[in-house]
Structure 1
Amino acid sequence: MSNYFNRELSWMEFNYRVLNEAKTESVPLLERLLFLGITSTNFDEFFMVRVATTIRAMRDNLKPSVAQISYFDVLNGINEKAHEMCKEQYRILNRDILPALKKEGLEFVKEFDEAELQYLNQVYEQEIFSVLTPLRVDTNKSIHNFVNLQMYLAVTLDKKSTEEVEREFAVIPMPSSLKRLWELPGVTGKKRKFVFLEDLVRMFAERLFPGFRVVESSCFRLTKDADLAVDEDDDTNLLTAMEELIVQRGQSFPIRLEIDTQSEDIRERLKALFQINSAGVYMVDGPVNLKGLMEICFRSGYDHLHYDTRKPKFPRDLKQGENIFEAVSQRDILMHHPYESFDPVLELLNQAVDDPDVLSIKMTLYRTSGSKSPVADALLRAARNGKQVTALVELKARFDEQQNIRWATQLEKVGATVIYGLAQLKVHCKFLMVTRREKSGVRRYVHLGTGNYNEKTATLYTDMGFMTSRDELTYEAALFFNSITGYSDLPQMDYIFMAPTTMKPKFLQLVNRETKIAENGGKGAIRAQFNSLSDPDMIEALYKASQAGVKISLNIRGICMLKPGLEGLSDNITVVSVIGRYLEHSRIYYFSNGGKEEMYLASADWMTRNLNRRVELMFPVFENKHKERIKHILDTMLGDNRKAHVLQQDGTYTKRNRGKNNAQDLFYKEAVEASKEDISEGLKVRRKPE
């Protein structure tokens, strides 16, 4: 029997914990609907990447992973759990959420009175008809013409003027340029009625096929393999290679078919067309793609169906009205997002753009907030202002490739130096360095973090941010950046540790030190919070530490391949997973070190891909007040008894829900208490510090 859980099946348990929030009655109604959409979005990426990888591994007869489960059995396990969860999603939707929404005045309808039909007819003729393009489908139809994750309406047709039995088959793509939900007018009070685009098209589908009668129709969506590898042997052509990869992704083969249950004939036709077996067909009892329902969550007038509003507060390490350069020159700044605002990071960047004493800005970009990213925009302005701007833009950030290509191209056009990632490695670290000329000489200001430079997700994800001008850290930060942009061996560094070179050995050394302390009669202890645990070397080191008596407490949001609580192997290891209104994204690591505590923040999880195949950074926390705060964060998360789920020996999770300790609620209350003024006051910018 293996000492490891399977990675993919562990992920399935994570998504079930997310789904659990959708059926938790204490969660506000529209937030429950959002969680339904999130589970669907999670599944989309899971199928595109992990299921596709599993299918290819099975076809290539690869050996099982350390979990010692064949890929055939893994795929069967995925299919079984995924079908079960799909049914549960729609049970929650139809049994709980839709009836409750109707009581609140929000209704999705398929039957209409005469006035409503007249309105929908007008909408169809004026706004929808001309955008639709029906496509004939026959045995020669290329499956590559079907777009990944796009909605389609499939129809079977009879010729009106003949008695021939042979039926024609066609599909109608649902254009992404059209909104998914259409609101009916004339509803009184707070009541609102909505029609799905596919249902509206279904009503008038015959108008697209003059001379034919629509016999049956079904809405469907395909999920395609998106885990395609780029040829990185020559990184000088990485931009072109990534552009080609985006095209190839659209031509990959389908691995999942979601379809409503109205027509067995259409279902069988599509299965044959896409060569998908029954296990890959997901028949849904309601609208295909629950993500589309999330649109309703952002309509005004229903605040009472959401979480209470929580505005990020002013970071406790900063003073109102204080210049950001002055603050960071005097002390390290630790920020806990989203309880504390991400604005100081943007302010550091924006002040650097306009400050004439700033000489250079160096930064890594992995995921930004999209086409209007204030971070990327600031870099553009800095380059136009004559600053030396160097941006390492990771083109291989999955599903953000196209956006990052656009930013990289724009930065180059205004004179910035752009590095298109590194061959064979993803640059996943979060790094910003501003170099500034001051009276005492040139000084470096550095921001490092656990999350992306994305001001939108900074209000939704929990992360740690750290700003410093401390020489020992900023010097090594400069060495690090130069090593990934130029030709140099990574120099010896004492404070900052980098994957794929020094980070994993450092983690193993820290775990092994706790093991030796326990073996020598001391009290070893490890506490950590991160997203996923799948690296066999780290797991084995933790097992050895547990056997020596080290107390190990882990808060792991997602995948965990380690089996806790097994006699003689992992008796001293507990694993919890906190799922709440914010996505837990911080990477925090604590080692007791015989009383000389050490704490680190990092961009990396304990996954093989992070430790061996990505460029990541880990850095220490120095100041005692910050160490105490980090310990408090870890202890509070591990002690959560409202949103925490405890990992069992069989791989399932049991939710703690009998107490009052909601860690995320507590952190926000603490941020409110620590902030004397609302963040709307902002930092009072002075262009040039005195």
Structure 2
Amino acid sequence: MSDNAASTERTVDLSDPEYYLNRELSKLEFNERVLHEALDERNPLLERVKFLSIFTQNMDEFFMKRVGGLKQQIVANVTDTTPDGRTPREQWEAVLEKAAPLFERQAECYHEMIRPALSTAGVEIVDYDDLDYGEQTELDAYFENSVLPTLTPLTFDPAHPFPHISNLSLSLAVLTRQDGESDPTFSRVKIPQNRPRLVQIDDDTRYVLLEEIIAANLEHLFPNVEIVEHATFRVTRNAEVRRNEEVAEDLIEMIEEVLEERRFATMVRLEVESDMSDRVLDLLLEHLDVEDREVFRLPAPLDYREFMRLTGLDRPDLKLPEWTPQSHPRLTTRRGDEPRDIFAEIKRGDILVHHPYHAFTDTVQRFIDEAAHDPDVLAIKAAIYRTASDSKIIQSLIDAAQNGKQVAVMVELKARFDEKDNLEWAKKLEEEGIHVAYGTIGYKTHTKTSLVVREESDGVQLYSHVGTGNYHSETAKRYEDLGLLTASRDIGQDLVKLFNYFTGHSLHKEYRELLIAPGNMRQRLIDLIRQEAGHARDGTDAKIVAKLNRLEDPEIVEELYRASRAGVDIDLIVRDICRLRPGLEGVSENVDVVSIVGRFLEHSRILYFRDDGNEHYYIGSADWMERNLDNRVEAVAPIHDPALQQRLQYVLDVCLADNRNCWEMQADGSYVQRTPDEDEPVRTAQETFMDQAEDAIPDANI
């Protein structure tokens, strides 16, 4: 490094807020990229419908969690600033301002692009008023027989309090007037969630929204009165209901109380149909305790989540080609042959699985299931953060216990929005005599790890799985994730320590191979980054590549800035939140940040450090966020096998070369989507991995 560069490095204050992007606004940037997939006419029509629905789901969760948390801080008079220099109120105001045009663009996308295109393709979303008499009569009969009995109109008057509005429920606000009365009466009708939202007309691919059918039949709910007006609305409540775990007498009881309190939590958003009258809106504002700026006036329909149902139509011409996850080449001989002995294969050499390109059922799920039924297996331990509603992993663990094996399961009760399901799984496991840990005080357990203890001729062998994704068979078809199956004694012994912490109370700080948060992970990552910076200062080519879901931790960002200024070439593949600003003169010229948004949710974490040729590769559960490094139990495993290292490098290279689904981050936090030049072939990372999985040669050493 030159004297001038060294001088510059000493004078720049890398903690200055100007070098950090806001976490919440960065998340909205990601959601905007998701919405773009619905707008992008290069995508098949039903793929665009899918992203229209996903955008709604993402924004719902964002308001429940992030906006809810900001409102809590505002009410508590918190004025501490984030690394980018904003108070909670300033963040809240900025988020609401940025979110409004996104919702408007979503509505415009549906009305001006998606709906007309669906109609042209023979899939019509029809207004009730546009149906002929016979069709209306048929739908009215459906209403009377199948919908009306489920409805409960709730009126607000001197005899009835204002009704409770449940989170994310779609409702009709109805004003009625009796003869002789001057002021109308307000009633709320909840659109039932146990009835199809898209009501099919005859056996055709024509649909009417349920709320329109209900609105057309309000006289059955309010007979002998004048229907003055009606309009749909939808509320979002805060999901950030927290309890002090340190003083909780019972973790299960605490989780049950949190779930109950969410039902009545404060409002964080009110969506209303654009033609709702001011009279009705003022009433909602008064009784729902929301401010004008938290109201989003949008053309109906509100809530596009149920439009995901259309993606199930048998219309291959409107979809991407179906993808079937493939068998792993190490675990099969030739197509159609019997699978190989999974424990013998793992013992022969580490195996790297890549979902959804490799089938979860034939790899990780098979690993647990065969262990459950293998007479030589002594014990199975697993950490469950999220799993499928009909989880075969859970059933395999139950089978293992019934087969006389020692089974211990860490079920994280605090996994957001999965608390209820996890609580039920935990109780079911306990009923089978399985040792269940419900979580750890002060931390969420986010590791994706399992351990099989097996008696073999040469002694007790430990088989481990360390992954980046959950033990969830359904999300494994839609999420891109990696996992390591290994017979490494050192990794196995590290997992023994970790599982002893789950069922005991003492967390180790030193491990042979694994990086564990909140133990050795943060310092080890800092050491690796600083080591690269040292190589760069010595004139050696230095390189860091990190594939993450989120990069938020200020300390890690500052270390990356220092490494960049020292001359380290840094490539970051960050799916959504990223605080770091690339391309800043004198700070981050050597940093490139990209994000990939495609048919699968990019979810794997891969780390690479060149270390002057002594290359280090890691995969695991932890993002570079303060919560992951300090407040969650995470596990990251090194990959030592040269063939597997080569495979990880290939994954990183393919992602960085993507010119179809890849977005390049700008210094201001905005993103620009890559497009291939005229004479350049289209390179799509996810399609490349699918093609390769289909063409894989059995026994390939990965």
TM superposition score category, shorter chain reference: over 0.9
2:50 is the alignment partner of 1:34: yes
Distance 1:141 1:207 in 2: 20
Q: Using the alignment, how far apart are the partners of 2:505 and 2:412 within structure 1?
A: 18
Consecutive unaligned residues of structure 1, counting only runs of 5 or more, are 678-690
Instruction: Indicate the residue corresponding to 1:147 in structure 2.
Output: 166
Superposed, 1:312-391 pairs within 5 Å as: 312-320=325-333, 321-343=339-361, 344-370=363-389, 372-391=390-409
**Which residue pairs with 1:666 in the alignment?**
688
Give how far 1:75 is off.
1.8
1:459 aligns with 2:438: no
Q: Could you list the runs of 4 or more consecutive aligned residues of structure 1 that deviate by over 4 angstroms after TM superposition?
A: 138-144
The aligned counterpart of 2:12 is none
Deviations 1:389-440 (A, max 9, x none): 1110000000000000000000001100100011110000001111111222
Q: Is the 8 A contact 1:152 1:173 kept in 2?
A: yes
* Pairing partner for 1:514 from 519, 529, 532: 532
Aligned to 2:104: 87
Q: CA deviation at 1:317?
A: 2.9
The answer as to whether partners of 1:526 and 1:590 remain within 8 angstroms in 2 is yes
Mapped pair 1:102 → 2:119: yes
Q: Alignment length, in residue pairs?
A: 669
Kept in 2: contact 1:144–1:252 (CA 8 A): no
How far is the alpha carbon of 1:471 from its aligned partner? 1.2
Query: Which residue is equivalent to 2:211?
Result: 198
Residues 1:480 and 2:498 are matched in the alignment: yes
Contact map agreement 1:116 1:184 (CA 8 A) in 2 = yes
Amino acid at match of 2:283: R
Give matches, 1:645-660, under 5 Å.
645-658=663-676, 659=680, 660=682
Aligned to 1:137: 156
Equivalence map 1:185-264=2 (5 Å): 185=202, 187=204, 192-234=205-247, 237-264=250-277
Pairing 1:440–2:454 present: no
Shift of 1:141: 6.5
Backbone CA RMSD of aligned residues: 1.5
User: Which AA in structure 2 matches 1:34?
Assistant: K
On the 8 A contact 1:503/1:611 being kept in 2, the answer is yes
Deviation track 1:309-366 (CA, whole Å, cap 9, x = no partner) reads: 1111122333332011111121111011111111211111111121222111100000
2:318 is the counterpart of 1:302: no
Partner of 2:40: 24
> Which stretch of structure 1 is more off in the superposition, 163-172 or 418-427?
163-172
Question: 2:280 aligned with 1:266, yes or no?
Answer: yes
Question: Which of 53, 71, 75 is 1:55 aligned to?
Answer: 71
Q: Are residue 183 (structure 1) and residue 200 (structure 2) matched? A: yes
SS at 2:19's partner residue? coil
Residues 439 and 143 from structure 1, CA distance in 2 versus in 1: closer, same or farther, beyond 3 angstroms?
Answer: farther
SS in 1 for 2:329: coil
After TM superposition, give the deviation of residue 31 of structure 1 in Å: 0.7
Is the deviation greater in 97-106 or in 355-364? 355-364
1:397 to 1:143, Cα distance in 2 relative to 1, 3 A: farther
In structure 2, what is the Cα distance between the partners aligned to 1:179 and 1:186? 15
1:487 & 1:224 partners in 2: Cα distance? 35
Secondary structure of the equivalent of 1:101? helix
Q: Distance in 2 between matches of 1:458 and 1:117?
A: 42
Larger mean CA deviation between 119-128 and 177-186 belongs to 177-186
1:484 Cα offset (Å): 2.8
Partner of 2:587: 569
TM-score, normalised via structure 1 length: 0.95
Amino acid at match of 1:339: Y
CA 142–403 in structure 1, closer or farther in 2 if over 3 Å, else same: farther
Deviations 1:467-513 (A, max 9, x none): 01121211222122112321334152121111011111111010010
Name the SS of the counterpart of 1:674 in structure 2.
coil
1:405 paired with 2:423, answer yes
| Structure 1 Cα separation of the partners of residues 477 and 634 of structure 2 | 23
Tell whether the 8 Å contact from 1:235 to 1:423 is kept in structure 2 after alignment: no
CA contact (8 A) 1:395 1:405 kept: yes
- Contact persistence 1:535–1:607 (CA under 8 A): yes
Task: Tell me which amino acid in the other structure corresponds to 1:355.
Answer: D
Structure-2 change in CA distance of 1:56 and 1:263 (3 Å): same
| Inter-partner Cα distance in structure 1 for 2:427 and 2:351 | 33
Whole-angstrom distance in 1 between the partners of 2:73 and 2:591? 32
Instruction: Tell me which moved more, 80-89 or 335-344.
Output: 335-344
**Mapped contact 1:120–1:200 kept (Cα < 8 A):** yes
* Helix, strand or coil at the partner of 2:177: strand
Once the two structures are superposed, the pairs formed by residues 555-566 of structure 1 within 5 Å of their partners are 555-566=573-584
Residue 176 of structure 2: aligned partner: 157
Report Cα offsets for 1:170-193 as digits up to 9, x if no partner.
001122211211101164xxxx21
User: 2:434 aligns to what?
Assistant: 416
The superposition leaves residues 69-101 of structure 1 with CA deviations (integer Å, 9 ceiling, x where unpaired) of 233332222111111000000111111110000
1:367–1:139 distance in 2 versus 1, CA, 3 Å: farther
Judge conservation of contact 1:434–1:445 (CA < 8 Å) in 2.
yes
**Which deviates the most, 18-27 or 260-269?**
260-269
- CA distance in 1 between partners of 2:161 and 2:452 (Å): 52
Q: Answer yes or no: is the 8 Å Cα contact 2:466–2:636 preserved in 1.
A: no
How many angstroms does 1:136 deviate by?
0.9
**Worse-superposed segment, 16-25 or 432-441:** 432-441
Of stretches 443-452 and 485-494 in structure 1, the one that deviates more from structure 2 is 485-494
For 1:516 and 1:116, locate their aligned partners in 2 and report how far apart those are by CA, in whole Å. Answer: 74
Does the 8 Å CA contact 1:524/1:549 hold for their aligned counterparts? yes
Equivalent-residue separation in structure 2 for 1:374 and 1:349 (angstroms): 9
Matched, 1:173 2:195: no
1:144–1:253 contact (8 Å) kept in structure 2:
no
Cα deviation code 1:1-39 (max 9, x no counterpart): 521001101111010011111111111101101101111
Identity %: 36
How far apart are the structure 2 equivalents of 1:401 and 1:144?
Answer: 26
Q: Which residue of the partner structure matches residue 5 of structure 2? A: none
With over 3 angstroms needed to count, the CA separation of the structure-2 counterparts of 1:533 and 1:185, relative to structure 1, is same
Q: Distance in 2 between matches of 1:639 and 1:218?
A: 48
Aligned partner letter, 1:68: G
- Which amino acid in 2 is paired with 1:352? A
The equivalent residue for 1:13 is 29
**Letter aligned with residue 238 of structure 1:** L
- SS across alignment from 1:145: coil
Matched, 1:4 2:20: yes
Task: Provide the secondary structure at the position in 2 that maps to 1:444.
Answer: strand
Match for 2:559 among 538, 541, 556?
541
- Map Cα deviations across residues 624-672 of structure 1 (whole Å, 9 max, x no partner): 0111111111111112111111110111101102251111111111111
Spell out, residue by residue over 1:201-251, the C-alpha distance to the aligned partner (whole angstroms, 9 max, x if none): 111112111221211111111100111112211466101100110000111
Deviations 1:364-403 (A, max 9, x none): 0001012x11111211222222221111000000000000
More moved, 590-599 vs 337-346: 337-346
Normalising by the residue count of structure 2, what TM-score does the alignment of the two structures yield?
0.93
Deviations 1:106-146 (A, max 9, x none): 11112221211221121111111111000012489667821
| Corresponding letter in the other structure for 2:523 | P
| Per-residue deviation, 1:262 | 2.6
Are the aligned partners of 1:234 and 1:423 in contact in 2 as well (CA < 8 Å)? no
Give the deviation of 1:538 after TM superposition.
0.2
